[in-house]
Amino acid sequence: MRYRVAAIVPAAGSGKRLKARTKKPFVSLAGRPLITYALKALDSSKYIDEIYVAADPDSIKRLESVIYKYGIRKVTKIVAGGKTRAGSVKNCFDLVNPLCDIVLIHDGARPFPGDSDIMNSVLLAGRFGGCVTAIPMTDTVKLADKRLFIKKTIDRSSLWRAQTPQAFRYGMLKKALCEAKDISGVTDDASILENLGRRVKILKGSPRNIKITTIEDLKIAEVLI
């Protein structure tokens, strides 16, 4: 079955941790604005039909011209972001075409989503209702108190680091967003469903799919390119 898929790209973060003069979506990565990488990857995937982007209201005009310049064709709407990532996703979701079967969410700050990750996220969301790309934890994980004394070591064998893409059946995400009382504290989209007791499947992702948060991440991304 061919699903109709809407992609949501939250890109309205402040980017403060990057300490750049330019707003994060426009920071140069190997000569191109950071946001173009995620958007191009989604735009060229045959599994994505339309794209909704959440941006800082002051950046919308600039983003429109970047999208035009880089020939990105599937962006349907650019929406003003919310105070939190979850708020930005919700603002986009409210405008998503209700005829969509699947909604795939991918951070604008992750320039390297794999084409197979996009495809498999869509297929697993269709099969299980919800799917999150994640990588197994390789470091030993400590639980610490506020004074930085270790309370205990957590068994890492069942721990995963969540990334995006995360994909969900449209109806399931809609219901979860309606039922959720407060989404302001959630840092990813799967949490909204988990908190309501819904099952979400993990898709093993790639360590290459990094999120650009600090200047060091930008340097790593340049090396990966």
Using CB under 6 A as the criterion, which residues of the chain lie in contact with ligand C5P when the complex forms?
A: 10-13, 54, 81-85, 88, 107-109, 187, 211, 213
| Pick 108 or 113: Cβ nearer ligand C5P | 108
- Residue 116 vs 184, nearer CB to ligand C5P: 184
Measured CA to CA, the distance from residue 189 to residue 210 in angstroms comes to: 17
Using an 8 Å Cβ cutoff, are 52 and 5 in contact?
A: no
Residue closer to ligand C5P, measured from CB, 25 or 130: 25
In whole angstroms, how close is the CB of 20 to ligand C5P at the nearest point?
13
Please identify, using beta-carbon distances, which residue of 16 and 147 lies nearer to ligand C5P. Answer: 16
Least CB distance from residue 108 to ligand C5P, whole Å? 4
Report the C-alpha gap between 119 and 19 in whole angstroms: 34
Three-state DSSP class for 87? helix
| C-alpha 70, offset from chain centre | 21
Give the separation between CA 224 and CA 14, rounded to whole angstroms.
24
Cβ-contact 51, 7 below 8 angstroms: yes
Nearer to ligand C5P, 82 or 128 (CB): 82
Least distance (Å) between residue 149 CB and ligand C5P: 27
Alpha helices by DSSP H, the chain: 34-43, 60-69, 85-93, 115-128, 170-179, 190-194, 215-224
Q: How far is the CB of 69 from ligand C5P (least distance, A)?
A: 20
> Which residues does residue 143 pair with via DSSP β-bridges, in sequence order?
152
Shortest Å distance, C-beta 150 to ligand C5P: 26
